[in-house]
Amino acid sequence: MAEKKTNKHEVIVVIVNEGYSDIIMDAAREVGARGGTILHARGTANKEMEKKYGVVITPSKEMLYILVNESIRDAVMSAVNKVAGIETKGQGIVFALPVSHVAGLKFE
């Protein structure tokens, strides 16, 4: 399998309450993302965390993985945070990780 070595891509990871993946992907696409992968997950937390941060921890989660060029990372993260960040009902968190190699994608 041919790999393309690159340091120009990052994966944006979003952990959000179940049911918010469509609005997240719409927001990400509006600023240049092409698509993503959605996994169903279950979150855990204790009552002290809920009190400390003032949010109710919903166990049903979705995790989104959005591979983007690093040039649009900040715009995608900002758009996602705006529609489903921790201050919204989606209670999402978003972070990015560097990607060193990518295979299976058409590069422009």
Percentage of residues of the chain with pLDDT beyond 70: 82
- Kindly list the domain boundaries of the chain, sorted by start residue: 7-60+69-93
Q: Which of 12-26, 54-68, 90-104 has the lowest mean pLDDT?
A: 54-68
Q: How many CA atoms lie within 13 A of 88 on its CB side?
A: 19
User: pLDDT tens across 16-57, in order?
Assistant: 999 999 999 999 999 999 999 999 998 876 667 667 766 666
Are 14 and 66 in contact by the 8 Å Cβ rule? The answer is yes
What is the Cα–Cα distance from 12 to 74, expressed in whole angstroms?
Answer: 10
Instruction: Please check whether residue 25 is in contact with residue 17, taking contact to mean a CB–CB distance below 8 angstroms.
Output: no
Rounded Cα gap, residues 102 and 34, in angstroms? 15
Beta strands in the chain (DSSP E): 4-17, 37-42, 60-69, 93-102
Give the pTM.
0.83
